[in-house]
Structure formats: C-alpha cells, structure tokens
Structure 1
Amino acid sequence: MASKYLLEGLLRPPVEFYPAAAHATCAYICSMAPWSLALHPSIGYGLAVGFGGLSYLRFRQGWRIVRYHRNLKRLPHYALTSRQIPVSTKYLFLGRGFEWQPEHTQRLYDCFSADGKKYLRPSKLFNMAREYEKHHDNVITKLTTRDSPLNPVRPLPPVEGIPAIHGIELNEIDVMQPLNSRGGHTAVFGTTGVGKTRFAEVLVTQDIHRGKTQSEREVVVFFDPKGDPDMLKRMYAEAKRAGRDKEFYMFHLGYPEKSARYNPIGRFGRVSEVAGRISGQLSGAGNSAAFKEFAWRFVNIVARALVEMGERPNYSQISRFVQNIDSLFLNYAKNYFDAKNPDIWQGLLNIAANVDVKNLSFGMKERPLIWVINQYILENKIFDPVLEGLATAVRYDKTYFDKIVASLLPLLEKLTTGKIEELLSPNYNDVNDERPIFDWEEVIRKRGIVYVGLDALSDATVAAAVGNSMFADLVSMAGHIYKHGVDEGLPEAFKGSAKPVKINLHCDEFNELMGDEFIPLINKGRGAGMQVTAYTQTIADIEARLGNRAKAEQTIGNFNTLIMFRVKSPATAKLLTDQLHKVTILQSMVTSSFTDSSNPDDDKAFTSNTGERISQKEVPLLDVANVTNLPKGQAFILMNGSTLYKVRMPLPAIDKNDVIPASMQELLEKMQKNYHVASNWWEPAFKEYTPSKDIISSFESMVTDEKIAKADIDWGGDVDMPEDDISDTDIDEQEIGGEE
C-alpha cells in the first residue's frame, strides 16, 4: 500500500505481501510460460521484469512494516569493540540513533493508543514459554531460553524499559557532536545501572586516541568515587594501545601500595589556597562557621611558615604543626633570627634558661622560651608577617587552641592515617619509592591520562576531602593556564603550540565531588581548555550537595549539552522536556450514524453514514514518561542549542588483543570483588561535626578578650612557592606497580 498519506498507518498487518505475491506469480508465468498468455517470449520477458519490479516494491513496503513491528519489541543487536569506536578530530561519537522529529512523537502516540498496544505486547506463545520457565528447569527450558534467531520464543534482552521509544525509527545513523561545542560542557543524568559508565567508556576511548602527535593529544582525567574496575581496565588498555601508557597515572585511595602519589595541597598559585582546600571540607552551618574561619586562619599560618622555610606543604605537616604549633614557631623563629644575627638565638636561649616560671602566666609556665621570644618581638617591634602570625597563635592558651581546631583535627587525622599518609603526603626525596608523583601542571604538559579512584565506599570522608581538593587544585591550574599558558616558565625550545591544550574531565557522581570552586571551573574554565563531562543521577543530588537551589540551577545552567538516560525523578526529566517546544499530532476517530425514514412511500427504511475524522492535537515534543521509561543504554541528547537526538549505546564486545599486565590484573580482580554500590556513601562524617556548648562558650570568651583582640593580626599577601631540588618528573616514568 502507498505510504504517502496524512497518517502513516504503520500499525497494521503487512497487506503489501499479497500484491507482492500476485505480482511475483505473474512475473514467473510471463518469464517461464509466456505462451500460456498468448504472448511472444520477448514481450513476456518484458512484462516479467515489470511485474518483478512491482513485486519487489510491494515486498519492501511490507517488509518495512514487519521490521517496524519487530523493532517495537526488540532492537537489532548493536555491539562494538573499543577498536571499532570511531575516532575523529572534528566530531565526538555519542552512539547510534536518529534526530527526534514531530513524526516520532506521532508514532509513539500511536503505539500507546488502544489499537497500537497489541503490537507492543509479546505473543501468547512467548508468554507461555516464560511461564513454563518459572516452574521448570530441564532441556526444554534450555532451548526456550537460548538467545538465537532460530528460537521462536527467544527471550527479550534484559534492558527493561519500553523498546518502542527507540524502535519507532528504522533508519539509524551515527550521532556525532562537533568538538568545538564540547567546551560548553556536558551533563549526563541517569539512575543507577542504566549505562552511564558504558557511555563514559565510549567517550574516554575517543579522548585517549584523539591526536597523532604529542601536541595534538588531549589530557584525559576520570574521577571515579566508587572505583569501577571496568573503567580502569578500559583506560589502561586504550592508553597502551595508543602508545600512551608511559603517560598513564592510576591514583587510587583503596590501593595505596600500587597507586601513584599526589599532594592535593602541594601546588598553588597563592599560599592561601592551601588553607581553603583544607578548611573548605568543614561544615560552615550555624555555630560551625566561626570555627571554620579560625581553622582556615591557623592552617594558613602554618602553610605560610612552611613555604617561607622552603618546604612544600602537605597534610602530614599541617596535621603535625596544627597539633603542635609551638615547634613550628620555634623552628621559624630560629631560622629568622639566624638569618639576622646568629647571636640573637643563643641569647634568647640563655634568657629563657634563667626565667623564673613562677612569674609567668599559667599558659606560659611550661613554655618559657616562647614567652621570651614573644617579649623580644614586642620590645624590638619586629614585624614579619609569618612570625607575627605564629606568635599570635602560640599566645593562645593550649586548651583554648585545641578547642578552636577541634573540628579540623578529625579530618587531618583521617588524611594522615596508615598508608594514606604516604599517598597524600609523598616524600619527594625518597628515590627508593618507585610510585610516581604527579601534579596537574605536569599532567597537562605531558598530555597525561589519569584515573582517580577515591574509594568512597570504604571511606567517604577521605574521598570527599581528596576529591574536593583535586577540584580546587584544578580550578587554580585553570586560572594559571588562562593567565600564563600551560608552558609558562619553560625554555623556548620546550614550549609547544600556542593553541590551548584540551583537558577532558570526566566526573562520575560529580555532585559529591563538587563545592563552591566547581562553579567557576565550568563557568570560566573553557578559556583554559577545560571540557567537563559530569555524570550524576538527579538534579536533587546537586542541590543537596550545594545546599542551595539557586546554586544548583547556576551549575546546571553552565552545561550546554544535556544527555538524559533513564531517570526516576520527574523534576530531573523536566530539565530536558521543558526546553522543547510543542508539536501538533493527528488523531483518527471513526464516526458512524444512521437516520430512520419516516416517509411511508419511500422504499428506504433508513440511511447510514460511516467515516473517519482526523483532528489535530498539540502535545509536547517529548513527555516526561518517555524519559522515565527508557531502556538501559538509551538516552536523549539535546545539543547544538535545540537539536534533540535519540541514541543507544553500543554493547561492549570482547577484544582479545587487550593485554593487561599481571600487577594491574591482580588489582582489577580485587576491585571487581569489592565493587559494590551503596546508597548515600558520599555523606562525609566530618560534615556532621557540631561543636559542644563548652567549646562554643570558650570560643566566645576568647574572641571577646581585649588582649587577644589587640594581638590579633589580619593576614594577607602572597608568598611564592620555592622550587624543589628534585623534579616531579624524576620518578614519573614507572609503570603502575613498578613493572614494565
């Protein structure tokens, strides 16, 4: 039947097969027995060609109906190995699908109509087989459950959802996104287990292989709070295949003995960033806000002192000196006075040895040397910002000081316990440790590939702290690149292209890693080459993390490309559907009427009229229910401002050429064994810290003390970070696990 009508009429029997069979019969007779039709053979052959063409045309029309009906229940198998994923320097492959048009809204509406629902339901024989399998386990069930095209009751793939949402289009294409629009960032929403990780693998694979020369390659960083072994395996295998395995870093808090090392506070543009990255993990709600500010101040004092003494700050040093600020004060004071005059320090020691501690205040009775140094500073009006800051800190009573930093100590202890301390506070001078040390500047210059496993299921506190610190470090790095470029400070011979390096950040469960510093990263990071692809479940996760709906909307507003897998939150689905216009669909209604004849002389007893009426109806281009009922591995993509695509991800096909080293394979097996998904794993314990009433009262009495208030000093200014004697690149060329 012809298909160019007002209504497509795809939900009907394939009646085209009847004329196709009739035309095929006529073609056979005309070609094989033209004499039976009193035709000359040459004329018979010509008619056979004509009838054959008509038969083929009708058969194709009928076969299209059959394919359409089959697609509504089961989509064609679609799988790719990593080698088969297309890689382009102009486009990003997102999956296979089609551009969603008003006719697709019409087709989906027809499928859910009363006459169309029967084409979505399995056959009676299929249902009988499934019922039989529930109560039996024998040879017959092995046959009925076999996934083979020859099986008439072949089970449906375990993708859940409604396959018809994608099956309404038979002509699929490779959906591509222009790379120049990727700088607008991408948000990926989807509930647990719907294909976000597989989608991330597809994108990461392309990012790793894009670019043939070193200057054309892109930086790839994947933040994985849970620790997905498949993602780690894929990243390493692709880095190996692309010849970039020497640039691959695996940072994993759950396996510190095999992980690369990273100092979250070791690189900064301003020394005050160190205090911000640490105190930013503390709660700022209610009475905790003042304690957070004091924690920032004391960490800043410690960090400035360490930098002035030529040391690189790390969590271990911060924890040590926050708990024992006296030793840092004495070390810095000795360095300061020795630089001025070595005799000053010896004189202070002699005075302290002869001081009568009975005349000292209670807080200074056990610290006569500190009291002497303080007096010397005041009497000689010595002003050094760092020395004054340390002096102000040691003037506090030790008990009061411990109460002020009470909320900071649990966090620092968790970041410096066991093997985590070696991982987050690396010893740059230990040449016997083969684990590489990296920082973001080095990774970007080398066009590196980094997998960050935060092991949040085991220790959410450390995961959240390290993740936030890494984001803060990246924000600082983005600002540095924006102002000076990535090669700032290198000799001309080592500088690369002036074109900005593309830095692809893939952030799984990004709402649990983000803080206030994440907004400027996506807001202004494009100028520094940052391209963020953020994966999360619902918009409520972002709002819960930021604690402010306005900030959540501000964050979402910075993502120009929206990818929506199946979500269970209608509010999240509306992020997509509310951006789409409405369209007009057609409705078919059958009308029937009859009229009795009241004229006795008329031979007609009644007249009847039967017809079909077509009306128009305005509906959304996409409904919320279409998003919440998507099968696994399928998504809607809104990109290029207003273009909506419906795509499905390729299933992963096994590539036997992926070779994983023994050390890496052992790690992957451990990760696979321990990989579980738990709800609310991201809620860090230290966020729940609430100071006691005694601490609050003590703090209030301190900040109102006139003597302390007068001695307090406002700290500002920047301190340049001194160069280390040993470069980070001295030990960064080792394979993971120390094996080639």
Structure 2
Amino acid sequence: MTQERSNPLFHENLYRPVYELNKAYVSLAAGVVTFTSSVIESEGHIGMVGFGITTILTAQCGHYTLKAIPLVKRQCKIFFNKIEFEDIKAIRQEHMAKENILNPNNKKKGKNKIFIGNGFEWGVEHANRSYQIQGLYSDKQEVKLPLFLKPFVKKWRKETLKLGGKPWIDGVGDAERQYVDAETFFGHSMIMGNVGTGKTTMFILLSLAMIHKGYTVIVLDPKNDSSWRKALQAEMEHFGKGEHFHYFHPSKPSTSCTIDPIKNWNRPTEIAERIASIMVESGKEDSFIRFNWNVINSTVNAMLYAGIQPQIKSIARYVTTGKTALTQKCLERHYAKCLGEDWETQLSAKMSSFGKTRLEQMLNYYQQVVSQQHQSPEVDGIIQLLTHNAEHMQKMTANLLPIFSVLTSTPMDELISPEEAIAESLDARDEDTRYDTAESESIDYTSNHIEGVSKKSGKIREKDSRYVDTSDIVENGGLLYMALDSLSDTKTAGYLSKLVLADIAAVAGSRYNFSEGRGRRVAVFVDEVHAAIAGNDALLNLLAQGRAAFMQMFIATQTKADIEAKTDPATANRVLGLCNNFFSMRANDTSTQEYASSQFGEVPITSQQITLGQSSGNTNDMTDFGSSYAERLTQQNDKAFNESLLGSLPILQYVARLADGRTIKAKVPVIQR
C-alpha cells in the first residue's frame, strides 16, 4: 500500500462493490465443481489433474477472500456502531495506579501514560475517505454488504440508531488504544459537546486517571451526576482512601461537608474581588460593582484589623447591619494599640466632650486627635462606610444585598460559613499582612462550632469534622466533589463556582510564591464552566499560570457560544487559546464547528474527473464516428475535518487536538466494575 501511495496516479476507492468477494465465490464454486466432476469421472478417485486444478482454485479463493475481508470490515463500519466498554481493573494496571497512589511523584519512564479511548490519528487518508463517503447516495446503495452478514444487520442497527449520528465517521480509520503522556494534560483541557453526547463519561475516564496518578482531584459538578460521583468514590474506597473523599451538596446539608470559599487568600483585597466578581454577569464591570467592591474591601480590612474571621456570613452581617459594632471594635483595638490597654482610663475625661454616646466620643476623638499621629486606613475605611449617606448607600448596594441573601440563607450559611475563629490564620499571615495579632484577647470568637482555642499554638479544635480546607486538600491529597445543584438553583451554583475557583487560585498563588510551584499535582474539573467565567479573573489566571503551581484544569461547556454569551468573543477565544488540549463531542453550534474544524487544518484532497465524449461525421461512412474516455486526478487543499461532521458525531465519540501535536478521532469507553 505504501508503494501504491507513492504512485502519483494512486487513487484509493474503498467504498465500491467488493469484487474480490465475487471472485472468491466463483473460485470456490469452480473448485467444488472441478473436484466433484473429477471424482465422478474417476469413479471415486480424484486424478492428479483434477487435484491440481482444485488446489489452484482453492488457493485463489483464499487469496481473494483475504483481500476482501479488510474491505468488508471497512464497509461494515459505514453502517454500524456500538458502545465500547473498559474494565476498570485493566485501566488501573495500565495507569500503574497502585504504585502512583503510594508514591504520587512516581514517573517511571514509559509508564506515565493515560488512556483516553480507542481511535486513530486523523490524517490525509481519513479526510479523503470522508469526502468519498459524502459523495455516495444517502442510503449508500453503492456499497453492498455480503449475504452472510444479513442476519446480523438488525441486531447491529438497533444499537447504531441508539447512538445516533453517522457511524461512518469512525469507520474511515482503524481504531487502536490511544494514550497521552500525563505531561500533555498540564496545559489544561477544554471539552465541548451537546447535552447527552458523552462529556460526563469523558470526565469519568479522565478523573479516574488522575486518581490513578496520585493527584489531588477537585470536581465542580453543577448537575450532581450520580454516576460520576459514585465512580470516583468507589475508586477512592478501593485504594483505602475513602475517608479522603469529601462530598459537598447544598441539598443534603446533613451529610455534606462544609467549606469556606474565602478562607485562603494572599492579600485581603482578594476577598472583595471574589464577592464582587459574582455581580459581573456580562463580562463588564460598572460603577456600582466598583462601589460595592470598595464597601466589601473596607469591611474586610476592618474585620481583619479587629481580629474577626472574614467569612461570607460575617461580611454580610457587617456590611448590612453591623457597621456600628464593627466600627466600635476597630476603634477599641486602635486605641489599645496606640495608647495601651488602659486607654479608657486615660481618656475618659477628655472624650466626654466629643459626643453623647460612647461611639460618638471614640469616633470624633479619633478623627480630631488620634488620627493626627496614629492614623489607620482600616479605621478610616469603616468610618467612611458608617458615615456615608444611608440612602445613597442603599441605592448603590442594591445588587449586592440579594447576593448576600442567597449565600447566607439556610443551609448555605452553615455550609460555606462554618464560623471559624481567626487565631491561627492571622498568626500565620504575619508575613503577608500588616495586622498585629499578638493580643489574642481582643479576637472575637463567635462560632458555635468551636470547642476551644489554644492561645499558645493558635490551633482550633472543631466539633464539626466535616469542614474541608482547600489548602489542606491541595497539599495533602484527597478528592473534593462539589455538587452545585444548578438544576434547583442556577444562581447559587454559579456563585459557588466562582468563589471556589477563586479560592483554588489563591492556593495556587501561595504555592507558587512560597513553595516555588512544587507540591502534589492537582487536577480541577469544572463542568458548565460558562456559568463561572463572567468576571472571574481567578479562572483565567488558573488557565494562564496554574501549570507553574502544578495545577491542571479540565473544563467543559456545551458550545463556544455559551462562553461568548457570558463574556465576549475575545474572552472566549482567550479561554480556548489557554487550553492546549481541545476535545469536542457532537456540537451543532456553527462557531464551535468552525473552531473544531480549524484545529485539523487543511490537507490535499484527491478528486477524480471522468470525461466521456462521442462524435460523428457528416458522411454516410460507417466508420465516420469517434469516442473518447479520459480520467483526471487533481489535488486541492481543503479542510481535513469538515464542520458538518462535528454535528454528525455519534454519542460517546469525539475529535481532539492535543498538546503533543496529534489530532485524533476516538470513542469514549464506558467504565465497568
């Protein structure tokens, strides 16, 4: 075949009647007739001539049969499709799961491969075959299946119709097991496809592979897909890691773990950025969002200054009804820092003339006297909020308050605001902040879940063992499965996605800054990513720089248009550009089809032109006529994978452009236990 392809006149034509099979039938029939007639003529004995001819005919039958079998198989693939299954035991062995889980840094040469399905690398020959098939009639009447396959047609067609699409797209190549080096996925991956085409099945395959490699796995699943969750939980339990599987579900608060999505940060401004980003829905900020950012930031700074744990519930309380109490706490702490613990005794006589209430006296005395030598930006910020025009404040924060209402309503208040004290977090962040936490007596412990605090170590003993810290999981391993329940509450699911991704980005930033990017590999899976992308710079930063912190993203959405609708075309292209691996199931959206097709480039497509001609003269001579026949082969560059093919892919099939340079067409197998 290689020699044939080197011939400039070579033109492959696989989708035609199988003449080789007809020749095999004729040779077999001739052999039987020759053998029978020879035996009859020789009265029960076959002569040498009859034996020789029969042998030749039988060999000829075998020769043509061997030539016909690959062609018959290829043509069967035009009509039929089936679901492929993989045994989880075989996949564990291929991924060297046991060795990797015991040693997450295991990188044996040649063994760091990840199985991604059965398929083939799409090339020029497959492009030419696809154009040939598209030139056949709709019922493919040019291709006739052998008679002996007719009994199987009904059985095969039932499963083919169930999977939908055009089965011949996978039939143009010879499927083999496809593997990807684990390093390939460090460049992040985007998965697109219509609803029900196999994105979750693909996620199951990839997330199981990440477990087998010993990585930390974080899943943000808006739908709470039970098959995905059960597959991951069962795999963790199989390797004796069941206690490291953490399940978050807002609709099941009694069994759900709790998580503080603003626990980890490198600068206090990040907290305000996370909450304010929730307000961005169209990808653009406005003056109202910037004003609310300032409100949140001033409140958070004041809370930290007063020694109060910034959590969504506590921030909401101080932004709405607690500004007076927070201002008083900040002033008390500031007076104690600047004038000593006995400041009230020293200033009681002086402050009496600065107002009627204790707060008025403290506030006015600070502004007129103390701030001249001991000014505090944290105190100034909260005073500004307290003294701001109430009517204007209410108008400007009108969009912020509903967000706080959603995130602090039952049961969200307990699930994402576990009310931890701030003792150890403030002590640990002395290097990153300018807040003095030496005086632990002034710290406000408001949590009902805290048994006690060791002032010497700053460690907190919690009653609720379900609490999960993103930083702990990232560094120590485990699996966090967050079912965001978007079918019941789309807004809350989108808010949680943004907050958790920002928390992960903060952990990545801390790892990069203080651990030089080293640590356990982390795989983050985000389904329906378009719901979390609007105004979410943290997600874009993870895609742009997460690799440096040993983090890899697997994100999925239905179409490119979904991302554009939440942001803009430039941001959508940026997200796709930041993902070095692109997978696409069936997609009917034009922009998605065009993008997928462009990943395959162009290849020379061979076309055959046949010219027939006839002519006759003006005389009565019988020979005064002419005819002509001409064949012409031309090559012209065209799309290797036509856009329309993406909309015709069967369920559980995909095309992919990988960071290693390959463009493949493959099937996603269903994992069996």
Q: TM-score, normalised by structure 2?
A: 0.81
Please tell me the root mean square deviation across aligned C-alpha atoms, in Å.
3.6
Compare 254-263 and 50-59 and name the one that shifted more: 50-59
Compare 308-317 and 228-237 and name the one that shifted more: 308-317
Matched residues in 1 for 2:156 and 2:208: separation? 37
Matched residues in 2 for 1:640 and 1:51: separation? 53
How does 1:181-330 map onto structure 2 within 5 Å? 181-210=184-213, 217-283=214-280, 289-323=286-320, 324-330=322-328
Per the TM alignment, residue 175 of structure 1 is displaced from its structure 2 partner at its CA by 1.6
Per the TM alignment, residue 643 of structure 1 is displaced from its structure 2 partner at its CA by 2.3
The residue aligned with 1:711 is none
Matched residues in 1 for 2:137 and 2:391: separation? 79
The residue aligned with 1:495 is none
How does 1:456-475 map onto structure 2 within 5 Å? 456-475=486-505
The residue aligned with 1:414 is 406
What stretches of structure 2 of length at least 5 have no aligned partner? 96-110, 421-448, 452-461
Change (3 A) 1:313 1:13: same
Query: Which residue type is aligned with residue 113 of structure 2?
Result: Y
Q: Conserved in 1, the CA contact under 8 Å of 2:248 and 2:258?
A: yes
Matched residues in 2 for 1:81 and 1:34: separation? 55
Which of 485, 488, 509 aligns to 1:455? It is: 485
Compare 39-48 and 14-23 and name the one that shifted more: 39-48
How does 1:131-150 map onto structure 2 within 5 Å? none
Per the TM alignment, residue 190 of structure 1 is displaced from its structure 2 partner at its CA by 0.9
Which of 537, 541, 547 aligns to 2:562? It is: 541
SS in 2 for 1:567: coil
Matched residues in 1 for 2:392 and 2:286: separation? 17
Q: Conserved in 2, the CA contact under 8 Å of 1:265 and 1:469?
A: yes
SS in 1 for 2:608: strand
The residue aligned with 2:64 is 58
The residue aligned with 1:75 is 81
Compare 418-427 and 451-460 and name the one that shifted more: 451-460
Matched residues in 2 for 1:17 and 1:414: separation? 70
Which of 568, 573, 581 aligns to 2:593? It is: 573
Structure 1 position 107 matched with structure 2 position 129: yes
Query: Which residue type is aligned with residue 267 of structure 1?
Result: N
The residue aligned with 1:164 is 168
Matched residues in 2 for 1:43 and 1:502: separation? 74
SS in 1 for 2:208: helix
SS in 1 for 2:537: coil
Change (3 A) 1:244 1:614: same
Structure 1 position 405 matched with structure 2 position 397: yes
The residue aligned with 1:564 is 584
Identity of aligned residues (%): 23
The residue aligned with 1:128 is none
Q: Conserved in 1, the CA contact under 8 Å of 2:187 and 2:547?
A: yes
Deviations 1:644-689 (A, max 9, x none): 1111111354x3xxxxxxxxxxxxxxxxxxxxxxxxxxxxxxxxxx
Deviations 1:54-104 (A, max 9, x none): 433311222223222221111244222433436435222221111111121
Aligned residues: 603
Matched residues in 2 for 1:369 and 1:42: separation? 125
SS in 1 for 2:286: helix
The residue aligned with 2:611 is 591
Query: Which residue type is aligned with residue 344 of structure 1?
Result: W
Per the TM alignment, residue 37 of structure 1 is displaced from its structure 2 partner at its CA by 9.9
Per the TM alignment, residue 287 of structure 1 is displaced from its structure 2 partner at its CA by 12
Matched residues in 2 for 1:120 and 1:157: separation? 21
Structure 1 position 503 matched with structure 2 position 522: yes
The residue aligned with 2:646 is 627
The residue aligned with 2:571 is 551
Compare 26-35 and 567-576 and name the one that shifted more: 26-35
Change (3 A) 1:35 1:203: same
What stretches of structure 1 of length at least 5 have no aligned partner? 126-143, 211-216, 358-367, 487-497, 656-740
Matched residues in 1 for 2:47 and 2:640: separation? 57
Matched residues in 1 for 2:161 and 2:142: separation? 15
Matched residues in 2 for 1:452 and 1:614: separation? 57
Structure 1 position 373 matched with structure 2 position 378: no
The residue aligned with 1:335 is 333
Matched residues in 2 for 1:186 and 1:254: separation? 30
Query: Which residue type is aligned with residue 333 of structure 2?
Result: N
Matched residues in 2 for 1:545 and 1:286: separation? 6
The residue aligned with 1:668 is none
Query: Which residue type is aligned with residue 218 of structure 1?
Result: Y
Change (3 A) 1:404 1:352: farther
Per the TM alignment, residue 630 of structure 1 is displaced from its structure 2 partner at its CA by 1.3
Matched residues in 2 for 1:2 and 1:373: separation? 90
Query: Which residue type is aligned with residue 189 of structure 2?
Result: T
Deviations 1:688-733 (A, max 9, x none): xxxxxxxxxxxxxxxxxxxxxxxxxxxxxxxxxxxxxxxxxxxxxx
Query: Which residue type is aligned with residue 57 of structure 1?
Result: H
Q: TM-score, normalised by structure 1?
A: 0.74
Per the TM alignment, residue 109 of structure 1 is displaced from its structure 2 partner at its CA by 1.4
Per the TM alignment, residue 405 of structure 1 is displaced from its structure 2 partner at its CA by 3.1
Query: Which residue type is aligned with residue 329 of structure 1?
Result: T
Matched residues in 2 for 1:639 and 1:308: separation? 49
SS in 2 for 1:631: coil
Matched residues in 2 for 1:416 and 1:166: separation? 50
